[in-house]
Structure 1
């Protein structure tokens, strides 16, 4: 980012208010003690604390000051002035061995959120952190750095999750996730849903300000506050560093590039949608532990990035929304679409695809992990000779899928594993170089994780599962309960445990491992 080389005076004097606010909130400069402190406010740490994007020598920390998170104006009950926020990082939970201290400025331009990037830490270590602002002390968070870039860790443990519609149930799965032994959590999108919550499966009455769909910044901020009010979610954030991306519902269902889902309306104005997307991206940044490199620039945001875990694994987070072509033949399903095979259609965009392929060639990691929003493998819904597929995921962009998988094979990727959200169902299946060719080789494995709550109480298999298993011979496992996936990776194998809860429409559900599915080193595909 070129802005990082500018002086404080240059940015404050000539940059936009958003750029200045970002720099003040990331710890690029230390906060001046003269920055104002509110005379008296209630506890500002109602939305919790978080850390993310761990590196061998540091992490990014996050909190947002919001003594009244449900204030109708979306400002969280804060005065419209900058506020100094101090942070501490310690090697112990009692903070007797503080290793880093600093301060940043929470500005009203960014909803009084802060994202200090803390460096100088030791690799592969657990640390504890906390914030102080306006005389209040935050909850304590726990985080962890990754192994050295050229280190050879024996194992990696993480979980991945997606799709947590507040209106569909309770976040009990996060209570269980917080008790796991994990190095980090990957969230694959649909962290929130843009729709109102007047009707909900929780059976509760909601405030009218939450009944409308989200369109502007104030409303997106309120939606994040509603979701982050859930204690299990805050607990899981405080327990592990998170690596996050977005899918569609952080903005609007099934959006594609500059095209809103309302692309069939004759009066749709792309400029109006870009304005909405800018508001959604700013609210997302304000509520997630993201680094300066992920700063939104109007309706654009660089969310695709790569993080390493020594020489054991590389995690590449994809962006399958901003650079894609509009869906072929509508956003639904089709058995007749030929446009989905168009060689010029893309879900990644050429630049991002080249970046991913270049990483394949440059990486020396044993496991190549792609964090992906919507299923990459084929999901045929017709067990007969026809092929009925959804057009929003990679089935609507067949050429891009084939190019990516063929190049992974050609470039000798040792172990390709894709982790995916979106579908509200658990799948384990083989990734084929070309699904139209029955003899096509398997080049990788994909694990699709179910939702935290979206869809309400789930089922084990049901009619949909029976249909999918019959229509897709590459599918080795199906389940449609709620929960998350827990992953253990070592030098010999990858194991995904599908952790499920029997219900979400009331709290207190137990958790169980529904299945464990394995990928062996140098053996493409899954083994149940």
Structure 2
């Protein structure tokens, strides 16, 4: 076997070792192709899905392309050239590889023997057809003093929603690499949230196989479905340009397989996840492996759905360790199963906090107090994460984390009391000085009634006492005010404390507390999570225990909005607009003023989650980090919206917010 190359057939990753002194116009150094990879006419093939690079290490990089064409399902010989010069005047790699139909003619080639912190150029050739030129960069060697690191982190790029101008804007920036936190594709097409609001250059998708849902949408089921999605997404010139410009470090979240998935289970209906979908999960994993330039392997001979490991880590000089986790393949079922709640409401979203905590405690107790049945990471990956954090010798420890670590809760009793009190002031402006006292009194009255089982028949004892200060007597209250208040009372189910999203770390609180205790007890500082998934911007400290009387900040979570996906606030707006049980909560999500919709959700979340230092729940965008030994600076860029079904011209950013984290502190400063 050639000393410079070998082929890992089990997962089809080729490896080249960079050499020196190869002439740019010379022939193949030592061609190695499969016997049936016959020469092909140049006009039969193209590189219409572009090129990509990923997983930068100090001495290696993974390069990717796909050959498009038809040669009767035979292998295709593809030449790879790598150079330190943009004109390829001197070649470091000049190898012939083989694109196989079994892997949809995709190539993943790991080039080793490269120099650290160096820019390289690469291209692929079939006959006289040459791919676009890609530019990539290796990481600085571990321990090397590094003045600065600059990178973007992105997530949630639904082809069928809004626009992709952010990709074009990012490609024009000066970055070392891009972190992609998942939802690179969306497995569902034709869903209600994907209709009507998308740039015209993105045609409607139609899966080759797919499974039809009751609502008329369909979801990817076979490997051909998932391949179709990746090929469709990669057909966009802006995404191609972004990949050709920077190496990417990618992880998946849920939509690369199935919305809010866990292991090999899907969640489209309340009882969906009772049935394993192993073949579907394996198909999704294979397509991700085929289309991502990631330094991982997959074992198709392994019949398990866990036949691939994508959690891995990276080091950038003495400045940063980046730990990328997989928070889908090993996670336990949601603590409150959908079938018990009847739907995702009450199980994954708007979940009673006390019920969630009690069930988590019960599950742990039944497992001998182990975290296994209530874990996102799984036991093996959790131990690996702890070891990565403990052994990191860099100033900063960055965590590529799919779902937010920040507590996001609402006290329904307090919120409803606040809304009713505001209504009283609106009806009688003279009551304005008593608004805070009325809110407190109403919350006490609501809680007393609910606890005593008399809801919705309230005596309003506390509120009467406050109103008496304004000269409103009991008989006047009973005759003129009480009937109006009684008519506004929401369902009792809205009273109490709720977790907004139990699909993220709030739904796995015991494991989050365990991880924070580990960092705190080990004295590991300067830990910052880079997070996606939730389609909103957030920044805040992650506490050792959010339910403690005095929570202590341990690390920081920075959450970026989706590149194009519908916003977090829009989801809750849909709920309060369409579900009668939640209609009373509408003012907590949005208001209508002068015919315009005003976001009140930001203020609601801040009111009940004081650790949230920055919140924008109605946004699309991306985040760029500038890292030095002294501080981490992160700029959240919020994008302009569609105009006449067209993406905005550059600059696409409508506004930005920069937050700063000083080294040695789990605090955040808004600039």
The reply to whether residue 156 of structure 1 matches residue 145 of structure 2 is: no
Q: Which runs of 5+ in 1 are unaligned?
A: 1-6, 12-18, 68-76
Tell me the residue number matched to 2:664: 522
Q: Which one has a larger percent helix, Structure 1 or Structure 2?
A: 2
Q: Equivalent residues in 2 for 1:189-208 (5 A)?
A: 189-197=182-190, 199-202=195-198, 204=200, 206=204, 208=206
Q: Structure 1 410/109 Cα, relative in aligned 2: closer, same or farther at 3 Å?
A: same
Task: Assess if the C-alpha contact under 8 Å between 1:340 and 1:395 holds in 2.
Answer: no
Task: Assess if the C-alpha contact under 8 Å between 1:93 and 1:128 holds in 2.
Answer: yes
TM (norm. structure 1) is 0.89
Q: Structure 1 318/452 Cα, relative in aligned 2: closer, same or farther at 3 Å?
A: same
Question: Over aligned residues, Cα RMSD in angstroms?
Answer: 2.6
Secondary structure of 1:369's partner?
strand
Task: Assess if the C-alpha contact under 8 Å between 1:27 and 1:103 holds in 2.
Answer: no
Task: Assess if the C-alpha contact under 8 Å between 1:169 and 1:456 holds in 2.
Answer: no
Tell me the residue number matched to 2:323: 316
Shift of 1:229: 1.2
Rounded to whole Å, the distance in 2 between the matches of 1:515 and 1:132 is: 43
Rounded to whole Å, the distance in 1 between the matches of 2:206 and 2:317 is: 49
Task: Assess if the C-alpha contact under 8 Å between 2:42 and 2:126 holds in 1.
Answer: no
Shift of 1:32: 2.4
Tell me the residue number matched to 2:335: 328
Q: Structure 1 400/115 Cα, relative in aligned 2: closer, same or farther at 3 Å?
A: same
Tell me the residue number matched to 2:85: 92
Rounded to whole Å, the distance in 1 between the matches of 2:297 and 2:257 is: 20
Shift of 1:94: 1.2
| Per-residue deviation, residues 182-204 of structure 1 (Å, max 9, x unmatched) | 11000000000011148342265
Task: Assess if the C-alpha contact under 8 Å between 1:294 and 1:303 holds in 2.
Answer: no
How many residue pairs get aligned? The number is: 503
Rounded to whole Å, the distance in 1 between the matches of 2:266 and 2:568 is: 30
Rounded to whole Å, the distance in 1 between the matches of 2:54 and 2:635 is: 23
Which one of the candidate residues 100, 112, 116 is aligned to 2:109? Answer: 116
Of residues 162-171 and 459-468 in structure 1, the stretch that sits farther from structure 2 once superposed is 459-468
Q: Structure 1 25/492 Cα, relative in aligned 2: closer, same or farther at 3 Å?
A: same
Q: Structure 1 261/51 Cα, relative in aligned 2: closer, same or farther at 3 Å?
A: same
Of residues 195-204 and 498-507 in structure 1, the stretch that sits farther from structure 2 once superposed is 195-204
Shift of 1:62: 0.4
| Per-residue deviation, residues 295-314 of structure 1 (Å, max 9, x unmatched) | 66552220110111012100
The reply to whether residue 503 of structure 1 matches residue 520 of structure 2 is: no
Secondary structure of 1:185's partner?
strand
| Per-residue deviation, residues 207-253 of structure 1 (Å, max 9, x unmatched) | 64477421001111111111111111111111000000000000011
Which one of the candidate residues 491, 505, 508 is aligned to 1:394? Answer: 505
Task: Assess if the C-alpha contact under 8 Å between 2:83 and 2:92 holds in 1.
Answer: yes
Task: Assess if the C-alpha contact under 8 Å between 1:49 and 1:234 holds in 2.
Answer: yes
The reply to whether residue 438 of structure 1 matches residue 549 of structure 2 is: yes
Shift of 1:30: 6.1
Which one of the candidate residues 287, 293, 296 is aligned to 1:289? Answer: 293
Of residues 418-427 and 325-334 in structure 1, the stretch that sits farther from structure 2 once superposed is 325-334
Q: Structure 1 477/461 Cα, relative in aligned 2: closer, same or farther at 3 Å?
A: farther
Q: Structure 1 118/200 Cα, relative in aligned 2: closer, same or farther at 3 Å?
A: farther
Shift of 1:82: 1.1
Q: Which runs of 5+ in 2 are unaligned?
A: 18-29, 209-216, 339-347, 365-370, 415-495, 571-596
Which one of the candidate residues 228, 232, 242 is aligned to 1:236? Answer: 242
Shift of 1:493: 0.2
Which one of the candidate residues 611, 615, 620 is aligned to 1:474? Answer: 611
Tell me the residue number matched to 2:53: 51
TM (norm. structure 2) is 0.71
Rounded to whole Å, the distance in 2 between the matches of 1:242 and 1:222 is: 21
Task: Assess if the C-alpha contact under 8 Å between 2:42 and 2:129 holds in 1.
Answer: no
Rounded to whole Å, the distance in 1 between the matches of 2:557 and 2:640 is: 24
| Per-residue deviation, residues 381-416 of structure 1 (Å, max 9, x unmatched) | 447372433111111111100011110111121201
Which one of the candidate residues 563, 566, 572 is aligned to 1:452? Answer: 563
Tell me the residue number matched to 2:396: 367
Of residues 92-101 and 204-213 in structure 1, the stretch that sits farther from structure 2 once superposed is 204-213
Shift of 1:352: 0.6
The reply to whether residue 339 of structure 1 matches residue 340 of structure 2 is: no
Secondary structure of 1:470's partner?
helix
Rounded to whole Å, the distance in 2 between the matches of 1:378 and 1:441 is: 13
Tell me the residue number matched to 2:383: 354
Of residues 246-255 and 195-204 in structure 1, the stretch that sits farther from structure 2 once superposed is 195-204
